[in-house]
Amino acid sequence: MAKLLRMADPAAEDHYYAALDLFAEGRHEDAIAEYRAAIAADPRFTEAMHGLARACQELERFDEAIAISERIAQLDPEDVLAHTSLSILYQKKGMIPEAEAEANKARILGWKQQLRGEKEK
């Protein structure tokens, strides 16, 4: 069964799009503030959480990015990007066994999604 996309709160989306622009301009701290505002407006807005984790990673705030990515994985255990991000972040911290475990989760979830997509054709 296809996963339904959840629409974010309109105010959250405004902050999210502002954050994307700020991130693209290299203004990572300002982007983080906008991502946080988006999440405050819609606490289940995982796309904003992904952006926040990426901005934190860019500033080498790995522990914060890990906590955010773990929250995404809690909200959506089948989010391949959350597990991929965790793998990268754990690698950056030298946590190789944890990085490999998350990479394996991401790979398996990707395969499952691919198989589901082939069945729907």
pLDDT digits (tens, 9 = 90+) for 61-100: 999 999 999 999 999 999 999 999 999 999 999 999 999 9
Per-residue DSSP letter, 99: H
Residue 15 lies in a domain: yes
Q: Are 38 and 15 in contact (CB under 8 A)?
A: yes
In angstroms, what CA-CA distances link 59 with 1, 23, 64, 96, 99?
38, 11, 10, 21, 20
Is 3 among the domain residues? no
Residue 15 near residue 41 (C-beta atoms within 8 A): yes
- Structural domain total, the chain: 1
Q: Is the predicted pLDDT of residue 6 greater than 90, yes or no?
A: no
Domain hosting 61: range is 10-120
Q: What is the pTM of this model?
A: 0.86
pLDDT at 114 over 90: no
Could you tell me the CATH number of the domain that includes residue 33?
Answer: 1.25.40.10
